[in-house]
């Protein structure tokens, strides 16, 4: 459930930011700009899925290397940062 929140929150926020930037730059919402936003949404979904899968893989690897320990605090941030750096 928490993993799906990444895509649920980032997609609408990304589209909203795109429209805000378009407004300030004076770009009309014509068929070309809306098509570009549609393509960008696809890329954002793909990136979110890859990021979430990699984070889950890193968490599972950490649990395998540290059985019985809970992933929290500094260890959690290190694992998530490593997963994000590997993807991005």
What is the C-alpha separation between 17 and 2, in angstroms, rounded?
23
State the total domains in the chain: 1
pLDDT truncated to tens, each residue of the chain (88 aa)?
A: 677 887 788 899 999 999 999 999 999 989 999 999 999 999 988 988 898 899 899 999 999 998 888 888 888 898 888 888 888 7
Domain holding 31, by residue range, is 2-87
What 3-state class would DSSP assign to 6? Answer: helix
**Residue of 87, 79, 47 lying closest to 60 (CA atoms):** 79
* pTM across the whole model: 0.74
Rounded Cα distance, 60 and 56, in Å: 6
């Amino acid at each position: 459930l928490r993993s799906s929140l990444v895509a649920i929150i980032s997609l609408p926020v990304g589209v909203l930011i795109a429209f805000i930037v378009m407004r300030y730059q004076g770009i009309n919402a014509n068929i070309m700009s809306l098509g570009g936003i549609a393509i960008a949404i696809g890329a954002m979904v793909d990136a979110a899925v890859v990021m979430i899968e990699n984070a889950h893989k890193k968490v599972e690897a950490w649990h395998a290397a540290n059985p019985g320990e809970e992933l929290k605090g500094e260890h959690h941030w290190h694992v998530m940062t490593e997963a994000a750096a590997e993807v991005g």
